Amino acid sequence: MSHEPLPLRKVHHIELWVGNAKQAEYYYRKAYGFSRIAYSGPETGVRDRVSYVMAQNKIRLVITASLLPTGEIADHVKKHGDGVRDIAFETGDARLCYNEATSRGALGNREPWTESDDLGSITCSRIHTYGETVHSFIDRSAYKGVFLPGFREDRIDEPGMGFLIVDHIVGNQGENEMETWVTFYKTVFGFERFASFDDKDISTEFTALRSVVVAAPNNVIKFPINEPAPGKRKSQIQEYVESYGGAGVQHLAFLTNDIVGTIVEMRKRGVDFLEVPDTYYETVSDRVGPIDEDMAVLKSLKILIDRDDKGYLLQLFSQPVQDRPTLFIEIIQRKGSDSFGKGNFKALFESIERAQAARGNL
């Protein structure tokens, strides 16, 4: 049963817990075009961790590493490698969000608290979701700082890649766990079932998965939830769960209005993407019909195309951003379409399977 939606405005930030924040900050700045806007660490009175806030238009990433050999951050990185810890939401009432969420069955992580500095105050709260991922609720309506209390402004500007917003965030679950978390987001958050795909939609000769997309009523927040489906070989979802040590965020999708320019610049900066065979482009025009872009350019950049009844989209997926085959980044441009590239799933999965086979994990 769904409830009234929580009063969430948008994704405020995504926090990654990593082994080396200084190096990760440089990577996301130089490879993905994020500017550094704020810092927290010993110099700001924080003794156990260091965090860099990275920004590109309306996207905020927080890169955090432990300063201690043990503790929740160090233990998280030891188990999972670099990965997403917190998907934080901006709201006008963090207390209400926490009280409603926990009354609807969510497990609380931290009860509402207030933090202040010379620029104002914020109220926050936090709950658990799948795996060791959490959701923070942040009310910053009384705060005028660049990010949050405890952070000082610390800028290194970088030419951006054209990323605008977080389009969607994908969570991978273990076998037969997808519907549990779909129900969680419907019941606890008041999200709606936006789309679903079964193993007939998302399969190859060897592997398959199932996916349901849940979304806030305003569609500003969209979460595809995946689980492995039975197949001849180990699916990419199962590989992720084994490599990550449980359920977690599989990828972050960044929206751009110029995917060609974005991918050209990212390839110049050395970002590796999944390989798309040239044969994909032999039949794609028959499937998607006329598009504005030059197909030869899309083929040279290995950009995927798909169409639904509202328009079409263009997308491409990076290789994992760390050595474990876990978190990766999707670049997406929407030309009317509000879907997720269903027509590309087979080509995408075959590309992932080739990478799995090279790792000996297929």
Cβ–Cβ under 8 Å, residues 85 and 61 = no
Which residues are CB-neighbours of 234 under 8 A, at least 6 positions away? 207, 356, 361, 362
Q: What is the pLDDT of residues 80-114, one digit of tens each?
A: 999 999 999 999 999 999 999 999 999 999 999 99
Instruction: State both tokens at 103.
Output: 């009354």
The gap between the terminal CA atoms of the chain, to the nearest Å, is: 38
Longest dimension (CA), the chain: 60
Of 182, 218, 3, 189, which is closest to residue 97 (Cα–Cα)? 189
Span 110-148, pLDDT tens digits: 999 999 999 999 999 999 999 999 999 999 999 999 999
- Give residue-wise pLDDT tens across range 225-261: 998 876 646 677 888 999 999 999 999 999 999 999 9
Question: ∠ CA 239-243-249 to the nearest 5 degrees?
Answer: 85
Structure tokens at 51: 């965090």
> What share of the chain has pLDDT > 70, as a percent?
89
| Residue from 205, 214, 126 nearest 168 by CA | 214
Is the model more confident about 357 or about 59?
Answer: 59
Identity (one letter) of the amino acid at 13?
H
Q: Are 62 and 151 in contact (CB under 8 A)?
A: no
List beta partners, residue 123: 114, 139
Q: How many Cβ atoms are within 10 Å of 284's Cβ, its own excluded? A: 22
The predicted pLDDT at position 157 comes to 97
Q: What percent of the chain has pLDDT above 90? A: 76
**What is the reported pLDDT for 49?**
98
Burial letters 227-238, b for 16+ CB under 10 A, else e: bbbebebbbbbb
Q: Is 227 helix (H, G, I), strand (E, B) or coil?
A: strand
242 vs 80: CA distance, rounded Å: 10
For 15-51, the pLDDT digits (tens) are 999 999 999 999 999 999 999 999 999 999 999 999 9
Q: What's 218's DSSP letter?
A: T
Residue 159 burial by Cβ neighbours in a 10 Å radius (0-12, 13-18, 19+): exposed
Give pLDDT, residue 341. Answer: 67
How does pLDDT run across 310-355, given as a tens digit for each residue? 999 999 999 999 999 999 999 999 999 988 766 666 665 565 566 6
Cβ neighbours of residue 72 under 8 Å, at least 6 residues apart? none
* pTM, rounded to two decimals: 0.93
Q: What is the residue type of 72?
A: E
Nearest alpha carbon to residue 217 among 186, 253, 184, 172 = 186
pLDDT at 233: 60
Contact predicate 261/162, CB 8 Å: yes
169 pLDDT higher than 60: yes
| Domains parsed from the chain with CATH numbers | 8-156 (3.10.180.10), 163-359 (3.10.180.10)
Instruction: Identify any residues that bridge with 221 across adjacent strands, giving them in sequence order.
Output: none
Q: Contact 319/325 with Cβ under 8 angstroms?
A: no
pLDDT score of 197: 57
Token output for 288: 């998607």
pLDDT band at 208 (very low <50, low <70, confident <90, very high): low
- Would you state the structure tokens that stand for residue 7, as one six-digit string? 């009063």
Confidence of residue 72 (pLDDT cuts 50, 70, 90): very high
